[in-house]
Amino acid sequence: MFSDLFKETIWSLSSNKVRSGLTILGIVIGIASVITMVAIGQGAKNSISSSIEAIGSNLIIVMPGSQRVGGINQGGGSAQSLTIEDADAIKIQISSIKAVAPSITKRYQVTAKGNNTNTQAIGTTEDYMVARNVSMDAGSFFNTQQMKSSAKVAVIGPSVRDDLFGENVNPVGQTIRINNMDFQIVGMTKAKGGSGPNNQDDVIYVPLTSAQHYFSGDEYVNNISIAASDQNAMASVQEDITNLLLKRHKISDPTKADFSLMNQNDILSTASSITSTFTILLSSIAGISLLVGGIGIMNMMLTTVTERTREIGLRKAVGIKKININLQFLAEAVVLTLLGGILGVVLGWIASLAVTHFVSSLKTSISFSAIMLAFGVSAGVGIVFGFYPARRAANLSPIEALRYE
Amino acid sequence: MIECKNLVKTYINGDVETNALNGVSFGIKKGEFVSIIGPSGSGKSTLMHILGALDTPTSGEYFIDGHAVSKLNDDELSELRKNKIGFVFQSFNLLPRTTVLRNVMLPLLYSGVNKAEREKRARECLSYAGMEESKFMNLSNQLSGGQMQRVAIARALINNPSIILADEPTGNLDTKTSRVVMEAFRELNKKGHTIILITHEMDVADYANRIIHVRDGIIEKDTPNNPNDHII
């Protein structure tokens, strides 16, 4: 009984290879296009998000509050209220953060080989690289060992290199003089862009401990840069930091806090609007591809099965029961959609990889949910529209079905 | 073995009611060779559909071997067709791109008969219907009209039905082939099969032992016939 059904299904599909092949092709194209389109869209979305993240969109900066000296507000950031211990506490007690980098910032006249420049010296930790998206062009950032030993080492930005040594010179190993002390250059950062006072390349990084020893002489820091693990955690991380610092500074009224939190709100809102635009774009692409693919599959199934109304009439006339005819056409639809579905997933996958391979600027991202959605919708459409006309034909009297043109 | 009592079939097309059959009663005994003849629109096709359990009458009663066909549901009708009736259609109705053997075995699908037995029976029926063994594995669309009708006859025989119902079996064949196919029916009748033949051609109807004339949904004439009187 079931072996009859199985053999009849396979035989029926293989006896008209062109028809079966075209139906499968329709399903393959439908599924593969959805998967590829979504993979390309997702890849573009990822690439845009990562460009935004390079600016540091997950960055939260804690700054000391304003200081009042004799009733005169000295402005935000002037108070000495943040310590390295605060930074350590944040690192240990707050979840969903990637990096915590306390820093001491001061401007110095820096000299080397007779050239000099006025630049910003930042004493900080290795985490600064993560928090502020600093990457190295030459040499390396100072390590934990150099941190611990307050080593007189420095990492310079490309603008400082240009000013002191000239362009295209490898500064690693050279010595510069900051605040009348010699520091050995161990690395140079990659250019980040920006100009004037916001030039992120006109900067010298030294270990935080060295900055405390040789520059400031106390335990306070100018700010703490914190990188949240992702954008969605920003709000909760900010709240947790505020609560923690209020507790540590023994302040009960949040309006009297001796520190303030800053994030890159503009970048964040831009990022989220771009992301949501992309989500809409992606859903439209997926939706339209699914619709087009689905209609293709529907047409294919409807025509091929309706074409066989006479065959169904004949089967009924020779005494085959409705249920067996229904089961056979259902089985045919299932086999076709499954075969087409699997081939479609494979083809979509290969096409996505090919796009990544041949378009160097775009790395596609194959999404499991797109595969499931494409497969599910195609299979659903294929089975429904393969089965429905067969059922309709099997419900006709054999005479009506045989007369069908 | 076949008993019709006052068969009425009414088709409703929009607001218009048409009576294709208007009270038809007759009986057919085992081993008879009956032709039902009538012009187009006479109701002979409707009658044949009801006799073949492909359709049910609007009113009236119809019995095959004592089964009240009018009261059967769709699946029971299928079962009845499978076991009691073999069809031969005007347009052959073979499965395209399918071997002769497989076409003949079609009614045995889902029947629980094993593969070897199916094939054995199909070969027997094909030989019985006068098909050459060398053509058994040919595809149905590679056959001539006469060969296709032989395959259709073999298919009608596969379940060893009590009645063979032929609807204009020679309608798509030339005169020479028609004669060969009709001779095949006469052979079957001699071997004991009950045959009901629907046609509008008198010389085809003439092969039967009994001719029922149908016109305007009623039986006009029901006469015995001696085929040998007419055939030259």
Task: Kindly report, residue by residue over A86-127, the tens digit of the pLDDT.
Answer: 888 888 888 888 889 999 888 888 988 888 888 889 999 888
Distance CA A93, CA A91 (A): 6
Chain A to chain B, count of Cβ pairs less than 8 Å apart?
63
Main-chain dihedrals φ then ψ at residue A310, nearest 5 degrees? -65, -40
SS3 B132: coil
Residue B54 near chain A (CB below 8 Å):
yes
Is A16 in the B-facing interface, judged by CB distances under 8 Å? yes
Residues A70 and A165 in one domain: yes
Give how many domains chain A has, as a whole number: 2
- A396 has a chain B CB within 8 A of its CB: no
Using 70 as the pLDDT threshold, list the residues of chain A that sit under it: 1, 51-57, 66-79, 193-198, 264-268
Q: How many domains does chain B have?
A: 1
Mutation to test the B interface, candidates A3, A316, A320, A325, most B Cβ within 10 Å: A320
CB within 8 Å: B55 and A322: no
ipTM, 2 dp: 0.90
Q: Is A8 on the interface with B (CB under 8 A)?
A: yes
Task: Report the amino acid identity of residue B64.
Answer: I
Query: How far from each other are the two terminal CA atoms of chain B, in whole angstroms?
Result: 33
- Interchain contact A319–B (C-beta under 8 A): yes
The ranges of chain B with pLDDT < 70 are: 228-232
Last residue of a domain, one of A263, A294, A310: A263
Sheet holding B85-88, edge to edge: B85-88, B163-167, B194-199, B33-37, B210-215, B218-224
Q: Please indicate, yes or no, if residue B82 is contained in any of the structural domains.
A: yes
B187 located within any domain: yes
A4 touching B (Cβ < 8 Å): yes
Same domain for A145 and A245, yes or no, is yes
pLDDT reported for residue B232 = 44
In contact, A394 and B77? CB cutoff 8 Å: no
Q: Report how far apart the first and last C-alpha atoms of chain A are (Å, whole number).
A: 31
Q: Which of A16, A318, A324 sits opposite B87 (nearest CB)?
A: A318
| Structural domain boundaries, residue B142 | 31-53+78-230
Does the residue B95 lie in any domain? yes
In a domain, B24, yes or no: no
Tell me whether residue A356 is exposed, middle or buried, using C-beta atoms within 10 angstroms of its C-beta: 0 to 12, 13 to 18, 19 or more.
middle
**Domain edge (last residue) among A243, A263, A283:** A263
Nearest Cα to B151, choosing from B207, B79, B114, B102? B102
Looking at chain B from residue 74 to 103, which residues have their Cβ under 8 Å from any Cβ of chain A?
74-75, 78-83, 87, 89, 93, 95, 97-98, 102
Residues A177 and A255 occupy one common structural domain:
yes
Using a CB–CB cutoff of 8 Å, tell me whether A314 touches chain B.
Answer: yes
Subunit contact A4:B110, Cβ cutoff 8 A: yes
**Statement to judge: residues A308 and A250 lie in one domain:** no
CATH of the domain at B130: 3.40.50.300
| pLDDT at residue A204 in the model | 92
Q: What is the 3-state secondary structure (H, E, C) of chain A?
A: CHHHHHHHHHHHHHHCHHHHHHHHHHHHHHHHHHHHHHHHHHHHHHHHHHHHHHHCCCEEEEEECCCEECCEECCCCCCCCCEHHHHHHHHHHCCCEEEEEEEEEEEEEEEECCEEEEEEEEEECCHHHHHCCCCEEEECCCCHHHHHCCCCEEEECHHHHHHHCCCCCCCCCCEEEECCEEEEEEEEECCCCCCHHHCCCCEEEEEHHHHHHHHHCCCECCEEEEEECCHHHHHHHHHHHHHHHHHHCCCCCHHHCCEEEEECHHHHHHHHHHHHHHHHHHHHHHHHHHHHHHHHHHHHHHHHHHCCHHHHHHHHHCCCCHHHHHHHHHHHHHHHHHHHHHHHHHHHHHHHHHHHHHCCCCCCCCCHHHHHHHHHHHHHHHHHHHHHHHHHHHHCCHHHHHHCC
What does pTM read for this prediction? 0.68
For A340, the domain range is 2-51+271-403
Does some domain include residue B22?
no
**B54 contacts A317? CB cut-off 8 A:** yes
Read off the DSSP letter of residue B130: T
Å between A292 CA and nearest CA of chain B: 32
Residue B85's identity, in one-letter code, is I
Q: Residue B44: list chain A partners with CB under 8 A.
A: none
Kindly determine whether residue A324 and residue B87, on different chains, have CB atoms separated by under 8 Å. Answer: no
Collect all residues with Cβ–Cβ distance below 8 Å to B220 and sequence separation of at least 6: B38, B213, B214
A18 and A137 housed in the same domain = no
- Calculate how close chain B gets to A296, using CA atoms only, in Å: 26
Residue of B nearest to A2 (CA): B110
- Does A45 lie in the same domain as A64? no
Distances (CA, A) of B208 to A83, B33, B83, B197, B217: 116, 5, 24, 8, 21
Q: What is d(CA B167, CA B37) in angstroms, rounded to the nearest whole number?
A: 11
Residues A47, A64, single domain; the answer is no
Kindly determine whether residue A319 and residue B78, on different chains, have CB atoms separated by under 8 Å: yes
Count Cα atoms within 13 angstroms, Cβ side, for A307. 10
Q: CA-to-CA distance for A48 and A46, rounded, in angstroms?
A: 5
Q: Check whether residue A249 and residue A164 sit in a common domain.
A: yes
Chain A contact set for B70 (CB, 8 A): none
Per this entry, what is the length of chain A?
A: 405
In this structure, the strands spanning A136-139 and A115-124 are unpaired
Does residue A348 belong to the interface with chain B, where contact is any CB pair within 8 Å? no
Q: Select from A318, A397, A399, A403 the residue whose CB has the most chain B CBs within 10 Å, as the one to mutate to test that interface.
A: A318
Interface contact A249, partner B, CB < 8 A: no
For residues A159 and A104, state if they share a domain.
Answer: yes
Chain A residues lying within 8 Å of B79, measured CB to CB: 319, 321
pLDDT tens digits, B47-67: 988 998 888 889 999 999 888
Candidates A62, A18, A25; CA nearest to A220 is: A62
Residue B71 lies inside a defined structural domain of this protein: no
Interface mutation target, options A7, A19, A321, chain B, most CBs of B under 10 Å? A321
Identify whether residues A298 and A395 lie together within a single domain: yes
Burial state string for B203-232 with b = 16 or more CB within 10 A and e = fewer than 16: ebbbbbbbbbbbeebebeeeeebeeeeeee
CA A49 to chain centre: 6
Q: A213 and A72: one domain?
A: yes
Rounded Cα gap, residues B172 and B201, in angstroms: 13
CA distance A401 to chain B (A): 11
> Does B58 contact chain A (CB < 8 Å)?
no
> How many angstroms separate the CA atoms of A111 and A117, rounded?
7
Phi-psi domain of A191 (left: phi exceeds 0; alpha: psi -120 through 50; beta: other): beta
Q: Which of A215, A242, A263 is the last residue of a domain?
A: A263
B106 touches chain A (CB under 8 A): yes
Considering the domain architecture, whether residues A86 and A207 belong to the same structural domain is answered as yes
